[in-house]
A = this chain, B = another copy of it.
């Protein structure tokens, strides 16, 4: 990096002190005569002066950057969240330091550490780490944290939550309302609270209707990509169909990518959706309306979640006020065309 101009350099050019230059160029409210101001502005512009934020940040102890840690950016669910975060951040002149944790607690911890060293003012995180000791320490040191997606059971962590249980309940209710009685739930490993909650909602709705829940769970996962979830959906469907007994009339998948796998495997086995088997997903990704048939799903407002999380974080940073209560976003059924109504013409 070539040595670039400093305020001292342009102070010399303008024949003033560097303090005055600083006052002008950093829009200080401190009074400076209009003539000097104009002169300094002109010279700085002519010389293509670009301030070095490191100096400023070191002095002012504030960095105008926030960190975002999520499992994987290629997951449409998370990329949409990040888009929301980044947009809100940008509007307040913050920038985003991004890290993919790949569901690896060690990577997550390292990323948070590095971000803290770089003096990020806050963090938006979908944390997968079970050991929150480090995070707790940083929070005690003054780091502001907003958790998303994955619940962080810790005081001083503001939560943007989603009612997964109700989402699971809504999906199952929808299927039951359409006359389905044999409804299977296929899911990635139930090792995360969010997934457990969806499953509980599903089971509650089934119980309530006097139906027998039937859960097919995947073995523990290694990666965390859409392709993995898709394959998972296929594998779980094979398992489900191979089980013998009555074939379910509807399958509820723990997320949309998995649902795509279900639809695909069903088709591979000669079963039509929704004519032979209905499928419902979870997430409500845009891409769901682009497949055939368009996937009925439970909407999680990812973009808004991102925006909301970032807004809350910025509030904490500027106001210093910790929202005393977290927010729980509500699920909404996204009815498209992958669920058959068994009560019509049945």
Number of interface residues of A (CB under 8 A): 63
Within 8 A of B (CB), among A82-104: 82-83, 86-87, 90, 93, 95-100
Task: In the A-B complex, list the 10 residue pairs whose CB atoms are closest, starting with the nearest.
Answer: A2-B142, A1-B142, A54-B58, A98-B98, A260-B290, A53-B117, A74-B79, A79-B79, A53-B118, A73-B79
Interface locus among A11-19, A29-37, A108-116 = A108-116
Within 8 A of B (CB), among A199-239: 225-227, 230
User: Which B residues are CB-close (under 8 A) to A45?
Assistant: none
A73 touches B65 (CB 8 A): no
B115 touches A95 (CB 8 A): yes
Whether, in the assembled complex, A244 has its beta carbon less than 8 Å from a beta carbon of chain B, the answer is no
Q: How far is the CB of A215 from chain B (nearest CB, A)?
A: 23
A52 touches B119 (CB 8 A): yes
Within 8 A of B (CB), among A46-83: 48, 50-55, 57-58, 61-63, 65, 72-74, 76, 79-80, 82-83
Whether, in the assembled complex, A121 has its beta carbon less than 8 Å from a beta carbon of chain B, the answer is yes
Within 8 A of B (CB), among A257-288: 257, 260-261, 263-264, 267, 286-287
Whether, in the assembled complex, A4 has its beta carbon less than 8 Å from a beta carbon of chain B, the answer is yes
**Docked pose: A1 CA to B60 CA in angstroms:** 11
User: Which B residues are CB-close (under 8 A) to A2?
Assistant: 141-142
Interface residues of A (CB under 8 A from B): 1-2, 4, 48, 50-55, 57-58, 61-63, 65, 72-74, 76, 79-80, 82-83, 86-87, 90, 93, 95-100, 107, 111, 113-119, 121, 137, 141-143, 225-227, 230, 257, 260-261, 263-264, 267, 286-287, 290-292
Contacts A/B (CB < 8 Å), 21 sampled = A1-B62, A1-B143, A2-B142, A54-B58, A54-B63, A58-B58, A73-B86, A74-B76, A74-B80, A90-B107, A96-B98, A96-B99, A97-B98, A226-B286, A227-B286, A257-B290, A261-B290, A287-B287, A290-B291, A291-B291, A292-B292
Q: How far is the CB of A70 from chain B (nearest CB, A)?
A: 11
Q: How far is the CB of A64 from chain B (nearest CB, A)?
A: 8
**Pick from B100, B117, B260, B261: contact of A51, CB under 8 Å:** B117
**Docked pose: A100 CA to B72 CA in angstroms:** 17
CB-nearest residue of chain B to A231: B290
CB-nearest residue of chain B to A63: B54
Q: How far is the CB of A106 from chain B (nearest CB, A)?
A: 12
User: Which B residues are CB-close (under 8 A) to A100?
Assistant: 83, 86-87
A83 touches B76 (CB 8 A): no
- Which one of A57, A73, A83, A100 has the highest number of Cβ atoms from chain B below 10 Å of its Cβ? A73
User: Which B residues are CB-close (under 8 A) to A286?
Assistant: 225-227, 230
**Docked pose: A100 CA to B52 CA in angstroms:** 23
B97 touches A52 (CB 8 A): no
**Docked pose: A130 CA to B58 CA in angstroms:** 35
User: Which B residues are CB-close (under 8 A) to A95?
Assistant: 97-99, 111, 114-115, 118
B96 touches A53 (CB 8 A): no
**Pick from B74, B83, B141, B267: contact of A4, CB under 8 Å:** B141
A55 touches B58 (CB 8 A): yes
A76 touches B73 (CB 8 A): no
Q: How far is the CB of A270 from chain B (nearest CB, A)?
A: 13
**Pick from B54, B72, B118: contact of A83, CB under 8 Å:** B72
